[in-house]
Amino acid sequence: MKRIRIFDTTLRDGEQAPGASLTPEEKIRLAHQLAKLGVDVLEPGFPISSPGDFQAVQAISRAVEGVEICGFARSVKGDIDAALKATEDASFRRIHMFLSSSDIHLDFQLRKSREQVIAMARDVVAYAKQFVDRIEFSPMDATRTGEEFLFEMIEAVIAEGATIINIPDTVGYALPDEYAGIFRRVRQSVRGGDTVEYSAHCHNDLGLAVANSLAAISAGVTQVEVTVGGVGERAGNCSLEELAMAIETRKLALQAETGIRSEEIYRTSRMVSRAMHFPIAFNKPIIGRNAFRHEAGIHQDGLLKSRNTYEIMDPEKMGIPRSMIVLGKHSGRHAIRHQIGELGIRLSDTEMESFYSSFKEYADTRKTVTDDELIALAGTAVNRNLDRFALADIQVVSGSNTTRVASATITDNETGSSASYSSVGQGPVEALIGCLKQAMPFPVEFVDLELHSLSAGETAGGQAEIIIEAENQEFTGSAEDKDILFAVARAFVAACNRACRSGIGADAVANGETAADDSVGAPDALLIP
């Protein structure tokens, strides 16, 4: 197997996406996680661009072990000096320089002749070579550069000491066969072309970044430059998780492998999404919400018999919580029985038939059926309450100059009693969750919240999906409502009821106790359009 080195530029090229800026502290935290994920090379930023970026690159160079740290620079000595200074404490490092090569860039951006650009390239590589051995050079916009001039530039920088040649598809223009062909011809035609490493850096403007990167691997490339979730300029970069899992899933066909630890993929993607405030598209391969979820009855039936019927990867091996069944009007009996069983509910065959009929009628009016709706339907079918706790009412008061105040009334369906709780918070979600945590008979940690708009316009409702942790176990709840805060509250209570049905806090529930700790700490919601 050929080992493909993963060069991660989430913290540099990924951060250049509008709105994706990171603080130095966020960069350091993500850098540690990327090292844990198993990337080989880490490009933490652009040191000359700002004092904060310089500090982040310097701190990461000092603190993150086990990966090669790359200092990024334009072909300007001041940039190179900053990159060298920021990375000087790294145990293993390189300098990465870029210079435009296409006539479009030379004429309209650099406004220099080809001869001048070749001289610049020689000069900066020779300058950097005095201080560091590993030098990566990128002829920017290479895929729109005439091959004669591209070969001349690459030959010149190899002669001056460049050790890694990156041929970037800067604007996502190339097709896979074209891109692979460039690498093959460079290796064959350029003097010294067989003495250096080659890297692929692909943008996704035509949706071909992963395909182009795989094509480059077939042409002998041993390093691919990626970002988590494919974040980056315009349509983004080659997606780390898509490339890594394509290689892992088809390693025999590709005769290649990476050092990525797949069990860290989901955690890393969530951390990047949260830090950049970039939502993950529902249909995003590998990490999207729907990537391993199925609504069609035929698919659900096959999956319950054998995962391999409709899934080519095991999500749990990537750290993705198993939630393959999404209930809707296309779902069959097998899937519905499975899902209510997952919620801790058991129905007899007669009860199941009654429930199935009411479910189908209800599902015809919905896009999906959430956990709390499913439990309510099952309870109606069997004429009993299946949840210990029910949300009776909430009130939330917000103001521009005050903390938010919330109150909630919770009904205990076993005793028939109700109690009210109140809390404050910096935001309405924090205040509301503070109330609900007080009502639970066991300590609850609020782990995650996603809010999804269900339609456009001011009448749009919202869907909330919440993850809580109790006794070192995670539980999920979901709910929909025209009032977003009510959806959040119902989803939280649904998750807590799921914990109750699994036996969490059984003694406390039996004794009618509630949590004494009224601390909150709910994370900011991620609003996904």
What does the angle CA 426 – CA 428 – CA 434 come to, to the nearest 5 degrees?
80
Question: Could you read off the pLDDT tens digit of each residue along the chain, which spans 529 residues?
Answer: 999 999 999 999 999 999 999 999 999 999 999 999 999 999 999 999 999 999 999 999 999 999 999 999 999 999 999 999 999 999 999 999 999 999 999 888 888 899 999 999 999 999 999 999 999 999 999 999 999 999 999 999 999 999 999 999 999 999 999 999 999 999 999 999 999 999 999 999 999 999 999 999 999 999 999 999 999 999 999 999 999 999 999 999 999 999 999 999 999 999 999 999 998 888 899 998 777 766 566 666 666 677 677 778 888 888 877 665 677 788 878 778 877 787 777 788 888 888 888 888 888 887 778 777 887 888 777 777 778 899 999 999 988 777 899 999 999 988 889 999 999 999 999 999 999 999 999 999 999 898 888 777 777 788 898 999 999 998 888 888 889 999 999 999 999 998 998 888 766 555 656 654 444 444 444 433 3
Gap between the Cα atoms of 499 and 154, Å rounded: 61
CB contact at 8 A, 135 and 94: yes
- Tell me which residue has tokens 């199935």: 356
Gap between the Cα atoms of 229 and 213, Å rounded: 15
CB contact at 8 A, 481 and 457: no
For residue 458, the number of C-alpha atoms closer than 13 Å in the C-beta half-sphere is 0
Say which DSSP state 294 is in: B
How confident is the model at residue 62, as a pLDDT? 97
- Label the pairing between strands 404-412 and 418-425: antiparallel
CB contact at 8 A, 282 and 293: no
C-alpha pair distances (Å), 145 with each of 34, 100, 107, 140, 507: 33, 9, 12, 9, 71
Determine phi and psi for 360, rounding to 5 degrees: -60, -40
How confident is the model at residue 518, as a pLDDT? 41
How confident is the model at residue 297, as a pLDDT? 61
Cα–chain-centroid distance for residue 77?
36
How confident is the model at residue 445, as a pLDDT? 94
How confident is the model at residue 507, as a pLDDT? 66
Gap between the Cα atoms of 492 and 489, Å rounded: 5
Gap between the Cα atoms of 277 and 440, Å rounded: 30
List, as own/partner pairs, every contact residues 18-23 make where C-beta atoms lie below 8 angstroms and the sequence separation is at least 24, other chains included. Answer: 19/276, 19/277, 19/278, 20/231, 20/276, 20/277, 20/278, 21/276, 22/56, 22/275, 22/276, 23/52
| Count of helices and strands (H, E) across the chain | 18, 17
Tokens of 516: 């004494």
Contacts of 447 (CB under 8 A, 6+ apart): 467, 468, 469, 474, 523
- Tell me which residue has tokens 């620079």: 73
Tokens of 218: 């077939």
Residue ranges of domains in the chain, CATH in brackets: 2-276 (3.20.20.70), 297-382 (1.10.238), 389-528 (3.30.160.270)
Contacts of 286 (CB under 8 A, 6+ apart): 239, 241, 242, 245, 265, 269, 313, 318
What does the angle CA 337 – CA 387 – CA 439 come to, to the nearest 5 degrees?
145
CB contact at 8 A, 17 and 43: no
How confident is the model at residue 199, as a pLDDT? 98
DSSP 457-509: STT--EEEEEEEEETTEEEEEEEEESSHHHHHHHHHHHHHHHHHHTTTTHHHH
